[in-house]
Amino acid sequence: MMHVVQLRVPGGPEVLEWAERPLPQPGPGEVRVRARAIGISGADALIRAGTYPWMPPLPAVPGNEMAGVVDAVGPGVTSGLHEGHSVLVSSRELAFRGGCYAEAICVPADSVYLLPESITPVAAVTLPNYQLAGAMLYESGLLRPWSLLIHGAAGGVATAVIQLAMADGIRAIGTVSTPEKAAFARAAGAPDVLVRQSVESVRKAVMALTGGHGVDVVFAASGNEFATNLDLLAPRGTLISFSVHGGPPDTDLLAELRKRQSKCVGIRVYSIHSLDQHRDQRRALMQRAIDLMAAGKLAPPAPMVLPLAEARRAHELLDARNVLGKLVLVPQ
């Protein structure tokens, strides 16, 4: 037997249950992975709430990323994986989302990523953030940017974007809402961090940092800030929406673009699901993130680690948005 965290009905953190299930056995072409660390992401909260467009059937086990050790190999596995190999499981490579809030999971052997010894399990579950960061930078239709701004610079995806940009020689500016978050972002390696006091203060600071030119791309997660973000862009710059916290924009975006037609700025909407049908690109982005982390060029901030059995508490913290760094669950 093994333990999982599951939900039988959608809702708040209270619907998460600590339950026992039979230990799964790997079928043909599969391996079983014993969990060492399980990452928590915003998609997990959407699964819990029952609003995720890629919702697994109920009763569902949330969790989209797990780092662990192969402890059983099914018949017909030819990928060279053996018991004892450290691997990363990402549900982006599976036929279903979720499933990782468990002490073990069986997955196709060709879906996992082999991890070098230098990457700890807790660090490994941040790798999907770097995969998404690489996708936004290089697979979202942008010309190579030379400068960028991302809001919420203390968040996991924003930190990944900034670190990856710096590794590739791209100027990165971040904004945060509090001095505490600014200190956290700077400790994570962000060179230029602005504490948002007003829209105008951010615009002035960005222009000062870029010699009045603006940035090539702005990554935004709040729909209601779209119009003001357009004023941070350089000529022919692009605003990338990668989430819609607070709901969609309440302004006429075409009208806002026409107001700024002399700069010819644009808007794109991007999601990692844009690569759902592009396996080779998706896996190449993850492998590059693994290689950069192993080389010491990517270093995730220290996470907040809780026991797997305290997943409900972790989701309470997730909903409250008062955690700096990645939330990680570990089996006892």
CATH of domain 129-273: 3.40.50.720
pTM of the predicted model as reported, rounded to 2 decimal places: 0.91
Alpha-carbon distance 299 to 123, whole Å? Answer: 8
Secondary structure of the chain in HEC code, one letter for each residue: CEEEEEECCCCCHHHCEEEEECCCCCCCCEEEEEEEEEECCHHHHHHHHCCCCCCCCCCECCCCEEEEEEEEECCCCCCCCCCCCEEEEEHHHCCCCCCCCECEEEEEHHHCEECCCCCCHHHHCCHHHHHHHHHHHHCCCCCCCCEEEEECCCCHHHHHHHHHHHHCCCEEEEEECCHHHHHHHHHCCCCEEEECCCHHHHHHHHHHHCCCCCEEEEEEEEHHHHHHHHCCEEEEEEEEEEEEECCCCCCCHHHHHHHCCCCCCEEEECCHHHHCCCHHHHHHHHHHHHHHHHCCCCCCCCCEEEEHHHHHHHHHHHHHCCCCCCEEEECC
Question: Could you tell me if 20 and 35 are in contact, meaning their C-beta atoms sit under 8 angstroms apart?
Answer: no
Q: How many CB atoms lie within 10 A of CB 253?
A: 15
Q: How many CB atoms lie within 10 A of CB 317?
A: 16
Looking at residue 173, its pLDDT comes to 93
Looking at residue 80, its pLDDT comes to 86
* Region of residue 163 (phi > 0: left; psi between -120 and 50: alpha; otherwise: beta): alpha
Q: Kindly indicate whether the domain formed by 2-126+303-330 is annotated with CATH number 3.90.180.10.
A: yes
Phi, psi torsion values for 147, nearest 5 degrees: -155, 150
* Domain extents in the chain: 2-126+303-330, 129-273
Q: Going by DSSP bridges, is the β-strand pair 171-176/192-195 parallel, antiparallel, or unpaired?
A: parallel
Alpha-carbon distance 273 to 206, whole Å? Answer: 31
Looking at residue 248, its pLDDT comes to 62
Both tokens assigned to 228: 């003001």
- Segments of the chain scoring below 50 in pLDDT: none
